[in-house]
Amino acid sequence: MMRQYELVERVKRYNPRADEDLLNRAYVYAMKAHGSQKRASGDPYFSHPLEVAAILTELRVDDETIAAAMLHDTIEDTETTRTDIESRFGADIATLVEGLTKIKKLDLVSKKAAQAENLRKMLLAVAEDARVLLVKLADRLHNMRTLHYVPPDKRARIAEETLEIYAPLAGRIGMQEMREELEDICFHVLMPDAATMVMQRLDAFRSRSGPIIAFIENDLREKLAANGIQGDVKGREKRPYSIWRKMERKSVSFEQLPDILGFRVMVGNIPDCYRVLGIVHNAWPFVPGRFKDYISTPKQNDYRSIHTTVVGPKHQRVELQIRTQAMDEIAEYGIAAHALYKDQTVAERDAVLGKEARAYNWLRRTIETLAEGDNPEEFLEHTKLELFHDQVFCFTPKGLLITLPRGASPIDFAYAVHTDVGNHAVGCRINGRNAPLTSELRNGDEVEILTSEAQVPPPAWESLVVTGKARSSIRRATREAVRKQFAGLGRRIIERAFERMGKPQTEEKLASVVPRLARPSLEDVYAAVGRGELHSGDVVKAVFPDFKEETPKTAAGPNGAGWFGVQGADEVKFKVPGQEGAGGALPIRGLSDDLPVRFAPGGGPVPGERIVGILTSGEGITIYPIQSPSLSAFDEEPWRWLDVRWDVEEGERRRYPARLVVSVINEPGSLAEVARVMAETDANIDNIEMRAKTKDFREMLFDIEVWNIKHLTTIMTDLKAKPMIANVERVLG
């Protein structure tokens, strides 16, 4: 285990003005706090935070970060509190340590939800201070280096989490070396056979190629010297996981990979970078499609370099990265390479962040977007979407650069510009030409988004986008549209309920009783009534607590037709004319008028789905499913809407009519196959109509009888699974 003085010496090598007293106090305090605790390896637990601090010295971080690294597990694993840390080491270090502490005793339904909530907590702390992320990544790196001491089942879960979240997160903030080491460890844990295969192929490649790396390094140095350029050349093989990922992505064998060897050329200034590019392309053939200029267009994590692939000595394909020394430092250390972590105040750090650390600014914006998720699992999904993808660079017509994940569409582009642009997008032009919103964007595309105020993003867009921001915005817009629809319905139902009960209703009175209804706002009350979560009668009683509904009374219907009405009743069963033989009383609750009741013609509701009653003069009450398109005809007549619900007793066996349109391929046996599915799913066919849709397809209209909405859904699912059936849709009256 590292000694106290050894850690201080490590820090003083890059920071001669290091606060030795702070480092010594943190060392002693953490060692005493962890006491006799042991790790899975049997080593003293304090060896872990000490190794985390040692990793951070390689990144040359400031004294406070080193101290926080030594203290990062004290709140979580010892009796220490945040107050203890703050009183001894100050508010900044206490905030860092608290941001690294997992949430305990979570009342969540799954480990995935707990994982997501802890990630959310940590990333929100990162938004305030990026040093939290540096400590967390160093913590994860040391845990991965000692993962072989952990039980196999837990080992796989930790490796999967690291590969999905922490390795790409390290890459996104520019810490490529750390990302590659994390990926390689996970690769050996999660895919040991694949890792062994890649290592064997690398050994065979070395034996065939001999000292080719040294040969190409010397050749490059000679060419730079001959042209008067001073530079450093470093060569290496690609890392095993990087090789495997490229083999998987491109579906090629190891021998078909174009760039197993990579070389880095570091020069003094940017003009020399382009001079080196000219020298290399003049000496060796350039591989088309393998050139990227990240100096003129940096990545969002501040990465800057020129990438090119050439056919070098011995006909070996070689990938070259050309950059300055300063660019190389940022590529190796990421945001830790900036001066903001070296002897600066918080204000100075913020000033530098605004000018230099694009990676941190990107991270802050991303976290703010992710934090808008409605649940932990959604947050976790969006985080993975934001971290995983390579990037493409596109432009607005005004020249604004928009960076997106590879595979992004104009819909992602629209949401990257602004949420309102995405929500109202109706079309796009790519490089001046009209194109579908589902087109895949490529590097350098100029994208113009066409918008309309009347547009609302369709829910299907969610499956087409690849960015977390677009996906969360579409979900939010969809939820809001549905909520507005239910709120409008709920408002009409409540108005009708007050009118029916002869009570005055105002927005002010309703707003005053919102707390009693356990809803955050009046709009939420309307939406809850519209969804059937809250009964309109409960709203009336909240405004008028002394109000009592009339005692139910029965009344015979006209001509002995078998209808039953109840004045002022909450609960009543009606019979439908002509339905007596089909199962007796129709179970509908909430009707108060002595009127006949019927289902909507041409496709009525079935138990299990939300229903609405519409009062029709001279015809009684018609029951519609909530999603019926016919209801739009009554939007301006709220007095006709009735709050009704099913009252089906458990185990009751009664069939209800439903109508399906089935499109089938025009071939012998199609009707027999559809009828067979109906029989197997216990559907009763009442009527069939057929018509020619096209030469190759026939359309069949089935009137069937089902038990409930679950039964109907099963029938439709089984029909859709048959290869000769092109489409199945329900018809609603």
pLDDT tens, 61-95?
889 999 999 999 998 888 899 999 999 999 989 98
State which of 318, 337, 356 marks the end of a domain. 337
518: left (phi over 0), alpha (psi -120 to 50) or beta: left
pLDDT for the residue 328: 86
Q: Are residues 169 and 25 in the same domain?
A: yes
pLDDT at res. 587 = 57
Would you state the pLDDT for residue 391? 67
Total H helices, total E strands in the chain: 28, 22
Share of the chain above pLDDT 90, in %: 21
- Answer yes or no: is 369 within a domain: no
- Most confident of the following: 63-67, 133-137, 521-525: 63-67
- Strand ranges across the sheet with 433-435: 433-435, 425-430, 447-451
Residues 149 and 30 reside in one and the same domain: yes
For position 50, what pLDDT does the model report? 92
pLDDT, position 470:
87
Q: Are residues 527 and 578 in the same domain?
A: no
Per-residue pLDDT tens digits for 431-487: 889 999 989 998 778 899 999 988 888 888 888 888 878 888 888 888 888 788 778
365: pLDDT strictly greater than 80? no
**Is 373 domain-assigned?**
no
Longest Cα separation, the chain: 111
* Mean pLDDT value of segment 147-154: 88
Of 548, 535, 551, nearest to 501 (Cα)?
A: 548
Is residue 345 a part of any domain in this protein?
Answer: no
Residue 324 lies in a domain: yes
> Mean pLDDT over residues 509-517, rounded?
83
Q: Extract the tokens encoding 497.
A: 């309920």
What was the pLDDT predicted at 49?
92
CATH number of the CATH domain containing 221: 3.30.460.10
186 with 37, same domain: the answer is yes
pLDDT of 240 above 70: yes
Q: Which helix (H) or strand (E) holds 77?
A: helix 74-77
Distance CA 237, CA 713 (A): 55
pLDDT at 142 over 90: yes
Q: According to the 3-state scheme, what is the secondary structure of 572-613?
A: CCECCCCCHHHCCCECEECCCCCCCEEECCCCCCCCCCCEEE
Q: Which residues are catalytic?
A: 76-77
Return the pLDDT at 305. Answer: 92
Asked whether 401 and 393 are in contact (CB, 8 A), the reply is yes
Does residue 180 sit in the same domain as residue 34? yes
Looking at the structure, tell me whether residues 172 and 82 fall in a common domain: yes
Q: How many domains does the chain have?
A: 6
Residue-level pLDDT at 364: 61
What is the span of the domain harbouring residue 627? Answer: 555-646
Q: How confident is the model at residue 184 (pLDDT cuts 50, 70, 90)?
A: very high
Cβ-based neighbour number of residue 679 at 10 Å: 11
Q: Is the pLDDT of residue 297 over 50?
A: yes
Out of 424, 457, 490, a domain closes at 457
Mean pLDDT of 89-115: 68
Query: Mean pLDDT throughout 671-691?
Result: 89
- pLDDT value of position 375: 55
CB-based burial label for 357 (10 Å; 0-12, 13-18, 19+):
buried
In a domain, 542, yes or no: no
Q: Residue 29's pLDDT is what?
A: 93
- Judgement on whether residues 409 and 485 belong to the same structural domain of the protein: no
For position 705, which CATH number holds?
3.30.70.260
- Tell me what pLDDT residue 90 has: 92
- What value does the mean pLDDT take over residues 8-18? 89
Is the Cβ–Cβ distance between 589 and 571 less than 8 Å?
Answer: yes
Mean pLDDT within 176-192: 91
452: domain CATH number is 3.10.20.30
What mean pLDDT do residues 394-413 have? Answer: 85
DSSP string, 324-350: EHHHHHHHHHGGGGSGGGSS--HHHHH
279 or 314, greater pLDDT: 279
What percent of the chain has pLDDT above 70? 79
Q: Retrieve residue 161's tokens.
A: 């989490």
> What's the pLDDT at 429?
92
Q: Supply the pLDDT for residue 363.
A: 60
SS3 assignment, position 44 = strand
How many CB atoms are located within 10 Å of the residue 548 CB? 8
Mean pLDDT of the chain: 79
Give the confidence band of 594 by pLDDT, cuts at 50, 70, 90: low
pTM confidence score: 0.54
- DSSP H or E run through 395: strand 391-395
pLDDT in tens, 625-669: 888 888 888 877 777 777 778 877 666 778 888 999 998 877 778
Per-residue tokens: 94: 């206490």
Establish if 543 belongs to a structural domain: no
Q: Is the Cβ–Cβ distance between 300 and 349 less than 8 Å?
A: no
Structure tokens at 76: 């979580």
The reply to whether 157 and 18 lie within a common domain is yes
Q: Is residue 372 part of a domain?
A: no
Asked whether residue 203 falls in the same domain as residue 312, the answer is yes
Cα–Cα distance between 46 and 37 in angstroms, integer?
8
Structural contact between residues 554 and 517, judged by C-beta atoms closer than 8 angstroms: no
Hey, what are 238's tokens? 């690609």
Q: Which of 157, 190, 223 is the last residue of a domain?
A: 190
Confidence of residue 121 (pLDDT cuts 50, 70, 90): low
Q: Judge whether 362 lies within some domain.
A: no
178-187, 238-247, 250-259: lowest mean pLDDT where?
250-259
**Whether residue 620 is found in the same domain as residue 606:** yes
pLDDT of 188 over the 50 cut? yes
Domain co-membership, 496 together with 609: no
**703 and 621 within one domain:** no
Can you tell me whether residue 705 is helix, strand or coil? strand
Report yes or no: 159 and 189 within 8 Å, Cβ to Cβ: yes
CATH number of domain containing 142:
1.10.3210.10
∠ CA 361-394-454, nearest 5°, is 95
Give pLDDT, residue 67: 93
